[in-house]
């Protein structure tokens, strides 16, 4: 009896030592099969029970089971430890240099001119204006005649025009859209509020500040009680939205054939904040747009009664807005599409 | 228009600084571009008296001058000017002085001789060459004999003045004169103008005794007036007159010419002086030129005249282009003794056209074309005659010769306080409005808030109610108008579906790596013609600036290739761009106005993905481009799926790598590789492009987006690998599979394409995954096997496919 127990005690002791010495899961598994398997020493000890008395057998059997449980538990503990160590090693191997560059995802950019257009569009859409797109090849009468610029009007000198023939031309401003929209508008549905952004053309030699093609946006708001105070309120809002709330804005008289009274709008210079610098030609102010109360002749030409309806119109250069906002110094860059230029405007 | 602050001050009482005045004038109506003080930056420049000169011992052109520079000091100054002489009063820059361009003058030695400063030419103290009198153009300036030695020179030369540079808009030509500006300033500051009265003494001899005049068409010269002056002595004008001219940017010439210029600056009324002796006769006639006539103008150029030119003749020969430029033959010279002085109003449009035709825009023509004050045509003439009596010893013959005369009359315009406030959004009172009209010098009567305003001829820009409202607004002050956001009915502000879809397409392309470009719409005729989707005739402008920008584009691809070439020339080889814009198409050459169609195009060159540390470069290829175009087209959500058909019809495209994009039988675009011949012309490597007609695509029927249940039953897939002739297309095979796939076939996907080893020459192997899905129940293997067998059989019979 005691010899069997002694054997079991020795087995347990030796087994635990081996288990704890095992280096990896395979070795541990071998030990397990060795110790606890059908041909293992414990099975062998138990086989020796045949020689014991009936009374002795339960005690020894119970003891043998305890030894088996102890060894099983020890193996399990060791297994967990070895598995944890294995994961640790794997993680250590998998560690990356997180400072290596990410695999690039190619993204295109939206042209800065269109970004400018869309920013302004959203400001005016929010104020209930719609976006109207007219023709780039226009009739002379919509580009000039209906805008209070009859043939031989001196103001036509201000705009050098690309003509296709004497009646058809490339629009020199976005005002033709205003004339067309005004003609078609049904005032019983409410006031007419529109903006028209687009390409315009002038017979200019391209250089850093001139381009034969550029973008303009004009807008018009005609209704029964639209005032010059509304003009000021609307344009001040739009300008502050675009150029920043801290800009000072001033309105001063000007001249356009299609408006009366006419307005030129200046903002305080970004660079010098009004002190005077090369950007603002030492005036402290930068001209940003022209506007005015729509001339009665323009309303009449569109079949609108100037005694009943009136309102304001404005026009601004998209290229100029973008140049001012981002400090771009050469207008040609907009149309050369150098990717190193395009990608700067996110 | 350059306005002298001092001159202005003679007409209006001003106590503000020139800068304050400039700011106020800008905010009230006329933009002042700047205020210039001619003496700014100058220091220690005084009147000197040249006591004696002697040649420099060591130079053949320098003089040693003994110059008195104060009551008790005479110094030596070395001078190289050819006109320096003893007895002159001159401009001396003392040691320690500053002259133009911030240059410092120091005491020094010139070739061994001491020089205590510098005797100056006008240009050296800041005068421009344009205004320096001819006689002093290449030498020092000589001051009048009474100039006081040692005093600063600035006052003598008018340099202690301030010059306001006014930007005059076309409607405010009334401010192209000192008097006009004086009226404006007086209105701004609620002051009165005071102009000096000029007395004219006439001889008893009548002008009509020596001169007759006629105007053929009164419309050409509605006011035409002449005076005759005898015994004229041509000489330089006095300094006060010269100062006024050069401060206004006009070069002094001689007394007669200077007086005509002075009067033009003062009144805005251009005058012309003829040499009576040279007109050939006693007649002046205003008429249209005949087509065969010529005139040699003052600049020495012979002009071929047209019937649109208004001319002044002697009854036979042309003397002048009326209001634009005089003729060389009747010019005032030093020998002139009898002068005919002309003051007129000419028809503006003809003056403008003539000035444009001969490229002769002048101070005079630009005033005539914008209009002149009809109230001062005669006054200006008489003032000029009076000045000539004073400054040129002229005898003014009695009376004017005036074949046409205008009766200046006020224009009456009505406006009400209510209307003004309604337009401006203000609450200005009737009294305030009345005060403003009075400040402007307009006649005004008012009853119950309704004004009857008499506008004098000097403000010929005012004709209608809106003009008066503007006058009130600007004098009230734009800055005092309230700022409101519309009291009107609210209106919906929305982008149209079309506008939204276009923005969406742009975002899709940008998310896929293409940057938006905006190219020139005017291009060369060849580039405009290339890459056409739909055949079109070109539209060109009449007078292009350059052939590079002569014709409206009929495609967007050429512009993008220009952009790629611009980038490639700057070592940017891997570029992907797209453009959304218009093309201009027309079917017939005779049509003038083209249709404007919105197109969308893209161009990719070089690597689609550039090489990085962890992946190799991936050059752009047809299938990447096609995938991009497919996902762009998917945004339209069309009811009919676009198809791609190989085409060799595009001359500028690779004949084996180009496909037309078809929806039904409509060609809505194309894509493919640019013909290597063309990419070579642009110096580009292999380049892929696409071009879509958005007008057609936007007009096509779109699917209504409706929810479909997400499948609840598993799908079953079958793979098939087959070998077919190389000429059999994927589209044909896919079509066969779909047609024979049965109702459960939900997707067909190509997953392998192979030709080469183990495949017979002329054959290729393709492998597809077919997905079967029943949305109502679980599919059985038998159902799928049966359906799959039909596909296999069809591929074998229709395409002689060998199933592997
Ligand atoms: Zn500034």
Q: Which residues of B touch A181 (CB under 8 A)?
A: none
Distance of CA A286 from the midpoint of ligand 1 (Å): 8
The reported pLDDT for the residue numbered B579 is: 98
Q: Over range B100-114, report the average pLDDT.
A: 90
**Of residues B172, B495, B517, nearest to A111 (C-beta):** B517
User: Hey, which CATH number is domain B497-699, 3.40.50.880, 1.10.1740.10, 3.30.930.10, 3.30.470.20?
Assistant: 3.30.930.10
Count how many pairs of residues, chain A against chain B, have C-beta atoms within 8 Å: 262
In which band, very low, low, confident or very high, does the pLDDT at B665 lie, cut at 50, 70 and 90? Answer: very high
Please indicate if any CB of chain B lies within 8 Å of the CB of A140.
no
The confidence score (pLDDT) of residue B458 equals 97
HSE, CB side, 13 Å, CA atoms: give it for residue B204: 0
Q: For residue A252, how far is its CA from the centre of ligand 1 (angstroms)?
A: 18
Q: Which of residues 157-186 of A touch B (CB under 8 A)?
A: 157-158, 162-165, 167-168, 170
Say if residue A90 is in the same domain as residue A122: no
Of the partner residues A225, A233, A282, the one whose CB lies closest to the CB of residue B485:
A233
pLDDT level of residue B583 (50, 70, 90 thresholds): very high
As annotated, the residues of chain B forming the CATH 3.30.56.10 domain(s) are: 2-37+162-188, 411-479
What is the predicted pLDDT for the residue at A296?
95
Task: State pLDDT tens for residues B390-414.
Answer: 999 999 999 999 999 999 999 999 9
pLDDT at B361: 87
B518/A337 touch (CB, cutoff 8 Å), yes or no: yes
B136-157 residue pLDDT tens? 999 999 999 999 999 999 999 9
Q: What is the mean pLDDT of residues B228-236?
A: 96
Question: Cα of A205 to ligand 1 centre, how many Å?
Answer: 27
Contacts of B248 (CB under 8 A, 6+ apart): B2, B3, B4, B265
- Residue contact A106–B464, C-beta within 8 A: no
- Residue B363 pLDDT greater than 80, yes or no: yes
**Which segments of chain B belong to CATH 3.50.40.10?**
207-404
- CB-based contact A212 B552, cutoff 8 Å: no
pLDDT in tens, B692-718: 999 999 999 999 989 988 889 999 999
Which pLDDT value is given to residue B487?
60
pLDDT computed for residue B628 by the predictor = 96
To test the contact with chain A by mutation, choose from B517, B568, B580, B609 the residue with the greatest count of A C-beta atoms within 10 A, namely B517
What is the rounded distance in angstroms from the CA atom of residue B602 to the CA atom of residue B510?
Answer: 11
**Residue-level pLDDT at A148:** 87
From chain A, the residues in CB contact with B477 under 8 A are none
**Residue in A113, A253, A265, A283 to test binding to B, most B beta-carbons within 10 Å:** A253
Number of structural domains chain A divides into = 2
Pick the CATH number of B411-479 from 3.30.56.10, 1.20.1050.10, 3.40.190.10, 3.40.50.10490: 3.30.56.10
Answer yes or no: do A163 and A291 share one domain.
yes
Boundary of a domain, candidates A59, A94, A129: A94
pLDDT at A4: 77
User: B372 to chain A: which residues are within 8 Å by CB?
Assistant: none
Output the pLDDT for position A154: 65
Could you give the residue ranges of the DSSP H alpha helices within B133-279?
A: 178-188, 239-247, 255-267
Residue A99 lies in a domain: no
Contact B310, B323 (CB under 8 A): yes
Q: Which residues of B touch A296 (CB under 8 A)?
A: 464-466
Dump the DSSP string for B609-641. Answer: E--BTTB--EE--HHHHHHHHHHHHHTT-BSSP
What spacing in Å lies between the alpha carbon of B290 and ligand 1's midpoint? 55
Token output for B485:
């956001």
What is the structure's pLDDT at A155? 64
* Least confident span in A8-12, B523-527, B792-796: A8-12
Residue B585, pLDDT above cutoff 70? yes
Instruction: Please judge whether A108 and B578 are an interchain contact, meaning their C-beta atoms are less than 8 angstroms apart.
Output: yes
Question: Which CATH topology does B716-803 take?
Answer: Alpha-Beta Plaits (3.30.70)
Partner residue facing B481 (CB), from A229, A295, A340? A229
First vs last Cα of chain A: how many Å apart? 88
The Cα A283–Cα B34 span in angstroms is 8
Q: pLDDT tens-digit profile of B760-778?
A: 999 999 999 999 999 889 9
Give which of B310, B395, B390, B317 is closest to B344, Cα–Cα. B310
| A238 plus A143 within the same structural domain | yes
**Domain B207-404 CATH superfamily:** Phenylalanyl-trna Synthetase, Chain B, domain 3 (3.50.40.10)
**Which domain does A277 fall in, by range?**
112-342
Tell me, yes or no, whether A171 and A64 share the same domain: no
In which residue ranges of chain B is CATH 2.40.50.140 found? 43-143
The answer, yes or no, to whether ipTM is higher than 0.90 is: no
Residue A147 or B576, more confident: B576
pLDDT of residue A158: 55
Mean pLDDT, rounded, of chain B: 94
CATH 3.40.50.300 fits B43-143, yes or no: no
Average pLDDT over residues B81-102: 93
Measured in angstroms, the CA of A283 and the nearest CA of chain B are apart by 8
Distance from CA of A89 to the nearest CA of B (A): 25
Per-residue confidence at B298, pLDDT binned at 50, 70, 90? Answer: confident
Interface of A with B in 306-345 (CB under 8 A): 310, 334-340, 342-343
Confidence grade of residue B254 (pLDDT, cut at 50, 70, 90): very high
pLDDT, tens only, B454-476: 999 999 999 999 999 999 999 99
**Domain span(s) for CATH 3.30.70.380 in chain B:** 716-803
Q: A303: helix, coil or strand? A: coil
Q: How far is the C-alpha of A288 from the C-alpha of B666, rounded, in Å?
A: 46
* CB-CB neighbors (< 8 A) of B425 in chain A: 227-230
Shortest CB distance from A104 goes to which of B483, B576, B612? B612
CB contact under 8 A, B484 and A168: no
Reduce the DSSP state of residue A19 to 3 states and report it: helix
Nearest by CB to B423, from A155, A227, A254: name it. A227
User: Which residues are CB-neighbours of B715 under 8 A, at least 6 positions away?
Assistant: B746, B771, B772, B773, B779
pLDDT in the model for residue B436: 97
Q: What is the mean pLDDT of each run of 10 residues along chain A (346 residues)?
A: 77 88 90 84 79 81 85 91 92 92 92 97 93 94 89 69 91 89 92 95 91 96 94 95 92 94 93 84 90 96 94 95 92 96 93
Confidence of residue B354 (pLDDT cuts 50, 70, 90): very high
The whole-model pTM stands at: 0.86
- Answer for the pair B64, B50: CB distance below 8 angstroms, yes or no: no
CATH class entry, domain B2-37+162-188: alpha beta
Q: Is residue A105 part of a domain?
A: no
The domain spanning residue A148 has which CATH number?
3.30.930.10
Report, as an integer, the average pLDDT of B230-252: 96
């Amino acid at each position: 009896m005691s010899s069997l127990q002694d054997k079991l005690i020795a087995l347990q002791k030796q087994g635990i030592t081996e288990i704890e010495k095992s280096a990896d899961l395979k070795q541990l598994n071998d030990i397990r099969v060795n110790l606890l398997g059908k041909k293992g020493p414990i099975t062998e000890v138990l086989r020796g029970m045949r020689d014991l008395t009936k009374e002795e057998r339960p005690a020894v059997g119970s003891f043998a089971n305890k030894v088996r449980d102890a060894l099983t538990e020890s193996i399990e503990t060791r297994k967990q430890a070895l598995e944890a160590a294995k994961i640790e090693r794997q993680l250590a191997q998998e560690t990356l240099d997180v400072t290596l560059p990410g695999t690039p995802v190619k993204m295109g950019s939206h042209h800065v001119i269109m970004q400018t257009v869309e920013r302004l569009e959203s400001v005016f859409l929010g104020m209930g204006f719609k976006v109207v797109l007219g023709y780039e090849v226009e009739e002379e009468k919509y580009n000039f005649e209906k805008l209070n610029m009859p043939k031989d009007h001196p103001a036509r000198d201000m705009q050098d025009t690309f003509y296709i023939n004497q009646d058809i031309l490339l629009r020199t401003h976005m005002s033709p859209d205003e004339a067309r929209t005004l003609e078609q508008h049904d005032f019983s549905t409410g006031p007419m509020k529109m903006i028209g952004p687009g390409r315009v053309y002038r017979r200019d030699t391209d250089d850093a500040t001139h381009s034969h093609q550029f973008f303009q946006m004009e807008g018009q708001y005609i209704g029964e009680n639209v005032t010059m105070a509304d003009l000021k309120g609307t344009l001040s809002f739009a300008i502050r939205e675009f150029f920043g709330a801290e800009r000072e804005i001033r309105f001063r008289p000007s001249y356009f054939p299609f408006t009366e009274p006419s307005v030129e709008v200046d903002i305080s210079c970004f660079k010098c904040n009004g002190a005077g610098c090369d950007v603002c030609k030492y005036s402290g102010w930068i001209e940003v747009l022209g506007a005015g109360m729509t001339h009665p002749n323009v309303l009449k030409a569109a079949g609108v009664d100037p005694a009943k309806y009136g309102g304001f119109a404005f026009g601004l250069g998209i290229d100029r807005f973008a140049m001012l906002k981002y400090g771009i110094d050469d207008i040609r860059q907009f149309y050369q599409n150098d990717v190193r230029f395009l990608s700067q405007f996110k | 228009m350059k306005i002298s602050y001092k001159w202005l001050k003679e007409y209006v009482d001003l106590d503000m600084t020139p800068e304050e005045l400039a700011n106020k004038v800008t905010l009230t109506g006329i933009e002042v571009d700047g205020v210039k003080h001619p003496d700014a930056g100058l220091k220690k420049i005084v009147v000197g008296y040249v006591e004696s000169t002697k040649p420099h011992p060591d130079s053949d052109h320098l003089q040693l001058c003994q110059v008195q520079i104060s009551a008790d000091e005479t110094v030596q100054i070395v001078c190289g000017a050819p006109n320096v002489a003893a007895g002159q009063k001159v401009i001396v820059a003392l040691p320690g002085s500053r002259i133009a361009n911030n240059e410092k003058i120091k005491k020094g030695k010139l070739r061994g001789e001491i020089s205590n400063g510098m005797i100056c030419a006008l240009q050296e103290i800041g005068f421009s060459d344009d205004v320096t009198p001819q006689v002093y153009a290449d030498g020092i300036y000589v001051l009048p004999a009474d100039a006081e030695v040692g005093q600063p020179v600035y006052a003598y030369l008018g340099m202690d003045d301030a010059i306001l540079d006014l930007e005059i808009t076309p409607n405010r030509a009334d401010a192209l004169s000192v008097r006009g500006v004086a009226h404006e300033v007086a209105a701004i500051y609620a002051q009165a103008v005071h102009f000096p009265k000029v007395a004219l003494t006439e001889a008893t001899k009548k002008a009509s005794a020596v001169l007759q005049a006629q105007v053929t068409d009164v419309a050409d010269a509605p006011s035409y007036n002449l005076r005759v002056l005898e015994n004229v002595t041509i000489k330089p004008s006095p300094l006060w007159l010269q100062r006024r001219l050069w401060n206004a940017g006009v070069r002094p010439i001689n007394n007669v010419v200077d007086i005509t210029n002075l009067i033009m600056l003062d009144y805005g009324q251009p005058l012309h002086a003829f040499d009576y002796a040279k007109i050939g006769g006693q007649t002046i006639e205003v008429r249209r030129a005949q087509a065969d006539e010529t005139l040699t103008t003052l600049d020495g150029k012979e002009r071929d005249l047209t019937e649109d030119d208004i001319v002044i003749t002697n009854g036979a020969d042309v003397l002048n282009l009326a209001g634009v430029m005089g003729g060389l033959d009747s010019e005032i010279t030093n020998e002139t003794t009898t002068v005919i002085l002309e003051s007129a109003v000419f028809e503006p449009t003809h003056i403008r056209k003539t000035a444009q035709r001969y490229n002769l825009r002048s101070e005079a023509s630009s005033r005539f074309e914008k209009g002149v004050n009809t109230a001062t045509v005669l006054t200006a003439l008489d003032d000029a005659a009076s000045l000539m009596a004073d400054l040129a010893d002229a005898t003014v013959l009695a009376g004017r010769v005036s074949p046409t005369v205008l009766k200046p009359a006020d224009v009456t315009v009505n406006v009400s306080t209510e209307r003004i406030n309604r337009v401006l959004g203000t609450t200005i009172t009737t009294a305030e409005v009345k005060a403003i009209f009075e400040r402007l010098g307009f006649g005004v009567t008012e009853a119950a808030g309704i004004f009857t305003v008499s506008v004098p001829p000097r403000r010929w820009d005012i004709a209608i109610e809106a003009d008066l409202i503007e006058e009130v607004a600007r004098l009230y002050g734009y800055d005092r108008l309230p700022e409101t956001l519309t009291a009107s009915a609210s209106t919906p502000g929305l982008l149209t579906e079309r506008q939204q879809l276009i923005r969406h397409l742009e975002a899709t392309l940008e998310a896929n790596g293409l940057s938006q470009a905006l190219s020139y719409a005017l291009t060369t005729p060849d580039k405009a013609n290339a890459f056409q989707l739909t055949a079109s005739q070109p539209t060109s402008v009449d007078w292009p600036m350059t052939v590079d920008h002569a014709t409206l584009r009929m495609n967007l691809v050429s512009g993008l290739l220009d952009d790629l070439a611009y980038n490639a020339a700057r070592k940017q080889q891997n570029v992907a761009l797209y453009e959304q814009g218009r093309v201009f198409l027309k079917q017939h050459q005779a049509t003038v106005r083209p249709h404007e169609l919105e197109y969308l195009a893209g161009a990719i060159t070089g690597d689609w993905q550039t090489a990085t540390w962890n992946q190799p470069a991936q050059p752009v290829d047809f299938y990447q481009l096609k995938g991009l175009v497919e996902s762009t087209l998917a945004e339209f959500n069309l009811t009919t799926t676009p198809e791609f058909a190989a085409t060799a019809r595009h001359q500028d495209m690779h004949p084996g790598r180009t496909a037309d994009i078809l929806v039904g039988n409509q060609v809505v675009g194309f894509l493919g590789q640019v013909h290597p011949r063309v990419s070579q012309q642009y110096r580009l490597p292999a380049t892929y492009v696409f071009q879509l007609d958005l007008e057609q695509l936007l007009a096509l029927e779109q699917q209504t987006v409706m929810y479909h249940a997400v499948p609840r039953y598993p799908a079953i897939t079958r793979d098939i690998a087959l070998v077919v002739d190389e000429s059999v297309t994927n589209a044909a095979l896919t079509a066969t599979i779909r047609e024979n796939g049965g109702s459960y076939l939900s997707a067909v996907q190509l997953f392998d394409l192979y030709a080469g080893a183990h495949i017979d020459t002329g054959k290729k192997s393709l492998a597809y995954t077919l997905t079967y899905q029943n949305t109502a129940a679980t599919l059985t293997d038998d159902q799928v096997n049966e359906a799959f067998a039909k596909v296999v059989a069809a591929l074998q019979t229709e395409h002689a496919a060998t199933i592997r």
